[in-house]
Amino acid sequence: MTLGAARDRAEHLESVEDDTYRQRKERGHKISLVDRFFYWFSKHYMIFFNLFVFLYVGLAFMAPVMQHAGLTAPARVTYAVYSKLCHQLAYRSWFLYGEQIAYPRETAGVTALTPYGEATGLDPDDLQAAREFIGNPQLGYKVAFCQRDVGIYSGLLLFGLVFAVFRHKIKPLSFWGLLLLGLAPIALDGVSQLVSQLFAQLPWNFIPYRESTPFLRTLTGLMFGASIAWFGYPVIEEGMVDTRKIMAVKLAALRKEGQ
């Protein structure tokens, strides 16, 4: 009965020459520019994803490059833009063109590097000063986002490049895999640091004070970024495959009609 009713309605709409129905029917028999774009995008979307992440990471590294080259105005604008997206604490940032690649706080225990306070003469507990300090010719200039963000977005980019080549062979990371490989390491490193430093301000503190290292921040960020991409990109690909299949069927049907 349902099929019969649908057929009767279609015949009625055709008999009364309903314009809306006729236009919808005609659209079903041709490929629009929107159809062509989405079909093309479903094949090449990883180019855009990777390009966006590359530009985001690259611009953050261009800030110290521009500052070192004397292009202070665009460098300052870049730092200002990224300051809305990251804390930019100097003792948790990578540096270019200086004596060291990083200046962690003394509490991080990285004996191979001169601590932030000693190198800059600034109070390590002054957060505002650490945010505003971008560097100098001797110490170098900091990347526009922190070490953990460098790891996160580098992980997204590296996995994205691999996925762009082998996406047909890579299956999605499970939720438990994401939890184990991505979320747990960054949570243990970041949360343990945060909690220990919050409790350090209390008179009855029983948690040892902890400051993470540049290496651990970057590594856990890298694992998190790559895991997020591994978890998400294959799922997006499944949707894009469906789009390509639908468009392929439509194209085949139109070619058959044209014969």
Is the pLDDT at 256 greater than 90? The verdict is no
**In a domain? residue 6:** no
**In a domain? residue 160:** yes
**In a domain? residue 10:** no
DSSP for 98-114 reads SS-SB---GGG--TTS-
Chain-centroid distance, C-alpha 6? 47
Residue 94: predicted pLDDT? 98
Q: Give residue for tokens 């790559």.
A: 226
Name which of 73-77, 94-98, 193-197, 224-228 the model is least confident about. 193-197
Residue 107: predicted pLDDT? 92
Distance CA 98, CA 8 (A): 79
**In a domain? residue 185:** yes
The packing angle between helices 72-83 and 33-68, to 10°, is 120
**How confident is the model over 24-60, as pLDDT tens digits?**
555 555 667 777 788 888 889 999 999 999 999 999 9
Q: How many domains does the chain have?
A: 1
Q: Provide the percentage of residues in the chain whose pLDDT is more than 70.
A: 84
What six digits make up the tokens of 158? 């590296």
Name which of 11-20, 53-62, 135-144, 148-157 the model is least confident about. 11-20
Distance CA 123, CA 11 (A): 82
**In a domain? residue 244:** yes
Nearest to 91 by CA among 121, 62, 60: 121
Q: How many residues does the chain have?
A: 259
Q: Output phi, psi for 110, to 5 deg.
A: -90, 90
**In a domain? residue 129:** yes
pTM surpassing 0.75? yes
**In a domain? residue 221:** yes
**In a domain? residue 15:** no
| 53 DSSP assignment | H
pLDDT: which is higher, 6 or 223? 223
Is the pLDDT at 243 greater than 70? The verdict is yes
**How confident is the model over 152-165, as pLDDT tens digits?**
999 999 999 999 99
Residue 129 parent element (H or E): helix 127-132
**How confident is the model over 79-131, as pLDDT tens digits?**
999 999 999 999 999 999 999 999 999 999 999 999 999 999 999 999 999 99
Residue 199: predicted pLDDT? 74
Q: Which domain holds residue 187?
A: 43-250
What Å distances lie between residue 198 and 10, 148, 185, 206, CA to CA? Answer: 69, 20, 20, 11
Q: What angle do CA 125, 131, 134 make, to 5 degrees?
A: 120
Q: Which amino acid does the sequence have at 133?
A: F
Sign of CA dihedral 137, 143, 148, 151: negative
